Structure 1
Amino acid sequence: MVLEAIRDLHDICKKKQYNKIQIHNAGILPLLFKLLKDKDRDIRYAALELLRELAKDDDDSKIMISEVVDMSAVIKMMSSGHQPIRHAALLLLLELSRSEILQEKIGSVPGGILVLIRIKYNQSDDAFSSEKADEILKNLESSPENIKKMAENGLFEPLLKHLTEGSEEMQTEMAEYLGEIALGHDSETYVAERASPPLIKMVLSGNPLTRTAAFKALAKIASFHPNATILAKSGIVQRMVEEMFARRIHGEPINSKTEAAAILANIFEAGLDLENLQVNSHGHILASDYVLYSIIEMIKHSTPDELNINLIRILLCLAKSPKSMSTIVSMVKESEASYILVELLNNPHEELGIAATKLLIGLIPYMGHTIVERLCKTAGQPENLILVINETTRITHRQAVSSTFLAKLPHQSLTLNLALLGKNTVPTVLQQINQIQGTGIRTSRGACSSQNTFCLVDAKAVERLLACLGHENFEVVEAALSAVCTLLDDKVDVEKSVGMLCEVNAIQHVLNADRLLPATLVNAFHHGDTDTRQMAEKILRHLNKIPNSPTSHTSHCTM
């Protein structure tokens, strides 16, 4: 009886547009929404078809339907095991997506775009559903926010298309998104190939906002080392060198020299052959005196710490070549750069201090006595290096690098030895050695029983280690994770460890550490085998990235 009534209403709607208005006025929509949950799948199918007929060729009707019918319910039905219902749900959503007013609302349903992409990729199982999902996604592209969600869920084509073909405003917005979202390793190279040319053109723009967005996106792409060759072929090295040495736009929200140097450092650290890489139209190569001199001059005169860090990173890459190292040594020796580099050892910016120390370590075999001379003439040195090593109970990256630097300096240098003795540093060093030898590591394999209080807990280091999981340097993250894992070693009280880690919200910290986790799960959901897809789907549901499965009459077995 209900089914016949719905079909009669459907026939009435087809006859006149006015009849649709009458049905709306009669308050039928709330009833149709309730019928979407009916036990009878034929009734559910008929209700979907009637809703689609009501929505046809009338934006006002589409809006009324969207206000009464829960969009997430329609999206759940797109995954129905009953093909007619699945198709009807897709056709209804396709009709609603033709309204520009509703496109962002549809895209905002949690997991909606992810499910549509999954159906689009599933062409072999259901070509009709794949085609309709693709049409819906194309309609949703008119909203920049939807384009971002598509990229986050593994569909980059809309973002890349608008980045290449869109207006300047749209290109800027797409570049901003590209700089924000996490790219899975499977998509990094594809995005780099497609996005690099338009982004490099945007860097040449006179619009500060456009340039800023392009720099951020290029920095993200360059941070993935396998992209280095693609970026080099796209001409980015020449553009970034020009930004560093020549181009200057006042009043920008970013320091373009710093951004350009960071991008180059990321590319060079990937291990490219740098010696013969051309950097400008005048024929200069990267290892030329012109480039090396310009970089060293910038270090001498630069004030931003971030710029100096990236310039030193570039020099460290170039120093791997004997020819370039010879030029660097000559220039540092003969200029004030040696004093500047030694003075940077005192810099409070940890990353800058570490970078300068690493470069000096590389220079020691060629000019060790010169470095000693500069070091002993610098205020607070060399005793500050000993103090840095001794200042905390946990060994930091800066301490390790400082120790290496001291150990590499010429042992027979009378100047250095007298300076160390004169500052009474020897007792401090001996005390530190004794402390290291006498300390047991109770969390792993040190001198303690598994029932004792953990030394990491005693030192109140656990929360600090968890905070390190958000560090930009993956080596720091890896080291912090390794330290935390000692609390779960077979030789400790694991139950006590787990309880303590839960108290400090360790699980969330660990999940956040893997910025690629969402992208990895999405890729598995789209392209994995059956078991992998099911596992990815469960995790995505737990993370509220996909709508939960319907609890009544919409499961595959009843549809």
Structure 2
Amino acid sequence: MAGFLGELVLNNDVKVLVASRVGSSLINIMKSGNMQSREAALKALNQISSCDPSAKILIEAGILAPLVNDLFAVGPNLLPTRLKEISATILASVVNSGEDFYSISFGPDHQTLVSEDIVRNLLHLISNTGPAIECKLLQVLVGLTTSPTTVLSVVSAIKSSGATISLVQFIEAPQKDLRLASIKLLQNLSPHMGQELTDALRGSVGQLGSLIKVISENTGISEEQAAAVGLLAELPERDLGLTRQLLDEGAFVMVISRVIAIRQREIRGNRFITPFLEGLVKIVARVTYVLAEEPDAIALCRDYNLAALFIDLLQSNGLDNVQMVSATALENLSIESKNLTKLPEVPPPSFCASMFSCFSKQPVISGLCRLHRGICSLKETFCLYEGQAVPKLVGLLDHTNVNVVEAALAALSTLIDDGVDIEQGVAILVEAEGVKPILDVLLEKRTETLRRRAVWAVERLLRTDDIACEVSADQNLSTALVDAFQHGDYRTRQTAERALKHVDKIPNFSGIFQNLG
């Protein structure tokens, strides 16, 4: 009967029925039968475990312990490779059913699938078996690293066993399913061990090149490409060595062309297009984090007018991550603007001017940037004012996603930062109707980070008398500043104190000034 079940094609409802009626019996045969019976039971369990509800029934029936035993067994009970592959397939199915394997124990020692020795044994098998079993076991780890409750245990075991490099090497596997499983696993690991993966990819073996090759395949957007982009996107953005290598391998040019093709609808959308685009934009944004150290990064931004691209991406309604990353990239570019602005050369005074003060009037130079007092453009110096980005950033300040608001406010804050003409920066914000939205961010108190940024920006705005006069009459704004003065972190309290001085609203609370000292 077990053999017969293994040969049938069952729909999901029947799989659940079979699992609930005879799942325990099949597991018992798998544990104690002869090799022929075990094979029949494994094939039947493989058939019914491919549906999440039936997989959960099998977990409750105790399938984990015999599966793990079959995979790790040595000596007379060793399963032949073809049956180990079936066991690995069943384990991959049950792990991807969505259960919390951190709390499901099995065996006499009450281990879990994320116990360190279990994960270490899985890693050992992955490095010492054939591609088919390796692929299924990598899928097991993909399932375990998808859950926030189990991923950290897997990360810990990988780090302690030194398995990072061996996992990264699978990126070059010729088998597509094996390569996909490894890239998905590394993508899940990247938020938790980004620097270790970066160091491994930056080696001279060629895995980074293989990853770029996957992304550059012109075959629509596959799951493998989306995972590869997601992996690269999560790696530390300030790692200069990785960015340098991506520049050398032409990765940024390829990624930029992909972003543009999606924006122009030359690449047709499918279920992977959103994570693919989000990852691509994050990869391109890497280059804006190293502008001060890497002249080639500045050249790339100029050659491909990346500031204009990021301004265009601000309008990707419904794609919060794209808008957030684009605003942050514009912040990075804008910070560099003051270093790239070409200051005008003032001719030396003539002989008459040096002798007679009436001839010493300086010439008026037209066409200079109000903000940076030099020759600016969006393409060459990444000036947000010249690029007319300010109204678009202001438009994001009432976004429902606080991360987008924070990124937009940070970009706008570069207009009133040290090193630029702050008075003109405030005027630019006034013209873009940006002052009230910034004040509203302070009033809403959505997160501590937003409050800190808003207090900083408001203090700069209040240096303008007209704005200070208007704010001083608004009791709600004064109360918000007093609240920041009392309850913010040390730097926020100092900034709030300066802001309150601008509007003559310093509260006389006993002990506050002593605490600030």
The alignment's TM-score, normalised by the length of structure 2, stands at 0.48
